[in-house]
Amino acid sequence: MYKNKINILILLFTVLLFGCDDFLDKQPEDKLSPDVYYNNVDELKTGLAGCYKVLQEVYDYDGGMYENIEMASDDGKDRYMVDAIHTFKKTNANSASRVWQDNYLMIYRCNVLLGILDSYISEDNAEILEVDAMKGECYFLRGLAYMNLVRTYGDVPKVVSVFGDPSDAFGIGRTQVSEIYSDIIIPDFTKAVAMCFEKGASQLSGEEARAHKGSALMGLAKAQMEIRDYSAAEATLKRMIVDKEVGEYGLMDNLTEVFDPANKFGKESLFEVNFNVAAGQPSWYFRNMTNDISYVIGTTYTNVFMVTHDYLQELHDAGDFERLDLSVDSGYVEGATPEYQAFPKKMAPDRAGRVAVKDLGTDYNFIVFRYADALLMYAECLMNNGKTSDAIPYVNMVRERSNATPLAADFNLDIYRILHERRAELAFECHRFWDLKRTGKAVEIISEALMTVTGEDYGQEDQPIEPYQLLFPIPTAEIQKDQTLPQNAGY
């Protein structure tokens, strides 16, 4: 009986993580405890699935990191442009508490599973490789979670083991961002590169949602760029792009193909969060539109955020028409206020397709890392390292995919142009705000967007944003539980 129950759990968790169109059952409760005994690798995978499952909450379209980070950028806005996150007038009430809770839940589960994997005795070489790969994936997920946290809140509690008594977690305070990067994020991604399987490995057949060496290299390069170690990041990205150390990656023919569920885990994908209707884990990103346009289309659901006219204007003025068209629907509603209520088209079916799935959800994955991002990161590193002429071909690889005119070989590439290329290519993929922050341009560019009337954007501000607002406040509930967590300055 016990073995039968374990086998059922393995099936359910495997479908949850990796997807199966024929699976129609409900998911089980996803508990992961250090007291659970695992008899074999298949049972260990149920624990691994519990770690991955949190990603669906981290990158949830409504109330999770996606909504809050997009609203904080100059790409997303609320209808009347009064939202405290969008206008950078946050108070303690605007802490995006789910970002904190979801990422720390993933950290906890990874810490638990790492302890279990460390004590597991493998029976043969194949199991040794599998267990090592699962450890690597835990390191990858933990590194990703910590990077999400420090980019959002700054200094955060440093937790890399499971406490015997939950009360032991209180009183550890907040650890400086630099130490989180040096002691956790960079080492975790580095270990993940060494331990994960390569994309396309036979061990990942049917389990493509698992992180692989390319995922980990990308995480490592992003972390290195966050601390502005462009030399290290250049070397890391070279291993992927030039040396092909972790397999072959490439660009899909157009942006639509990148996000099409038929192309899940395709050649451009470096890491994506799996959503699957049949497994009871649908994606709801297609609901992201205002009341007005949703009623016109027939989906009848409210929005999370709208697309700023500042974004529309920048791409239009740059002649970046294909990327604009494939990323955004103008959301025109005659007589509405405003008449153009643009919404993201990525990770969603076309207008007609949205009506059919309005109560069912879709299989569209959330792509966390992709190859176009890596190419633009590599170009940015080369530029920052004084190799501008070497950088331009990598920018052009991404531009030419969308039929944009290539930059000339002697083009004066600078950080503003890099930020434009990243905005045009990666909009609404949870990059823009953090790109502006890590390059030191957030106050300048976001302030200009908020202080300028563009198209039908209104409610503009008359003062630049305060730099302290680039960090979110620590959730009040966390401070109430642990008085050693001081609030961020300004809140």
- The CA-based angle 374-16-283, given to 5 degrees, is 65
Q: What pLDDT does 179 receive? A: 98
Per-residue pLDDT, averaged over 331-342, amounts to 93
**What secondary structure letter does DSSP report for 185?**
I
Banded pLDDT at 30 (limits 50, 70, 90): low
Q: Which residues have a Cβ under 8 Å from the Cβ of 152 and sit 6 or more positions away?
A: 65, 68, 69, 96, 99, 100, 471, 472
Banded pLDDT at 27 (limits 50, 70, 90): very low
User: Rounded CA gap, 157 and 473, in Å?
Assistant: 14
Tokens in use for 37? 């005994």
DSSP code per residue over 411-447: ----HHHHHHHHHHHHTTSS-HHHHHHHTT-HHHHHH
Which helix (H) or strand (E) element contains residue 450?
Answer: helix 442-450
Q: What are phi and psi of 362, to 5 degrees?
A: -130, 175
Banded pLDDT at 304 (limits 50, 70, 90): confident
Banded pLDDT at 414 (limits 50, 70, 90): very high
Which region among 226-240, 284-298, 435-449 has the lowest average model confidence (pLDDT)?
Answer: 284-298
In this predicted structure, the answer to whether residue 8 has a pLDDT above a threshold of 90 is: no
Single-letter amino acid, residue 68: N
In this predicted structure, the answer to whether residue 456 has a pLDDT above a threshold of 60 is: yes
Q: What pLDDT does 31 receive? A: 58
Neighbours of 448 (CB within 10 A): 13
Q: Which residues have a Cβ under 8 Å from the Cβ of 136 and sit 6 or more positions away?
A: 191, 192, 193, 194, 195, 196, 211, 216
The pLDDT mean for the chain works out to 91
User: Which residue in 9, 7, 11 sits closest to 30, CA to CA?
Assistant: 9
Which region among 166-175, 187-196, 262-271, 380-389 has the lowest average model confidence (pLDDT)?
Answer: 166-175
Single-letter amino acid, residue 308: T
Percent of residues in the chain assigned helix, strand, coil, to nearest 5: 50, 5, 45
In this predicted structure, the answer to whether residue 19 has a pLDDT above a threshold of 50 is: no
In this predicted structure, the answer to whether residue 11 has a pLDDT above a threshold of 50 is: no
Q: What pLDDT does 486 receive? A: 96
In this predicted structure, the answer to whether residue 408 has a pLDDT above a threshold of 80 is: yes
Helices 415-426, 371-384: crossing angle, 10 deg rounding: 180
User: Which residue in 140, 132, 109 sits closest to 222, CA to CA?
Assistant: 140
Pairing assessment for the beta strands 343-344 and 306-307 based on DSSP bridges: unpaired
In this predicted structure, the answer to whether residue 448 has a pLDDT above a threshold of 60 is: yes
Per-residue pLDDT, averaged over 58-70, amounts to 90
Which region among 11-25, 302-316, 423-437, 454-468 has the lowest average model confidence (pLDDT)?
Answer: 11-25
pLDDT tens column, 343-380: 999 999 999 999 999 999 999 999 999 999 999 999 99
Banded pLDDT at 468 (limits 50, 70, 90): very high
Helices (H) and strands (E) in the chain, counts: 22, 6
In this predicted structure, the answer to whether residue 4 has a pLDDT above a threshold of 60 is: no
Residue 426 to residues 344, 373, 390, 431: CA-CA distances in angstroms? 11, 7, 22, 7
Banded pLDDT at 168 (limits 50, 70, 90): confident
| Buried/exposed 100-113: b ≥16 CB within 10 Å, e otherwise | bbbbbbbbbbbbbb
Banded pLDDT at 33 (limits 50, 70, 90): low
**What secondary structure letter does DSSP report for 108?**
H
In this predicted structure, the answer to whether residue 278 has a pLDDT above a threshold of 80 is: yes
Per-residue pLDDT, averaged over 4-14, amounts to 37
Q: What are phi and psi of 391, to 5 degrees?
A: -75, -35
Hey, CA dihedral for 350, 356, 358, 359, is it positive or negative? negative
Place of tokens 């390292």: 385
Length of the chain: 491
Helices 371-384, 230-241: crossing angle, 10 deg rounding: 140
pLDDT tens column, 185-198: 999 999 999 999 99
Per-residue pLDDT, averaged over 416-424, amounts to 98
Q: What pLDDT does 25 receive? A: 28
Q: What pLDDT does 38 receive? A: 77
Banded pLDDT at 176 (limits 50, 70, 90): very high
Under a CB-based contact definition with an 8 Å cutoff, are residues 209 and 52 in contact?
yes
Banded pLDDT at 28 (limits 50, 70, 90): very low
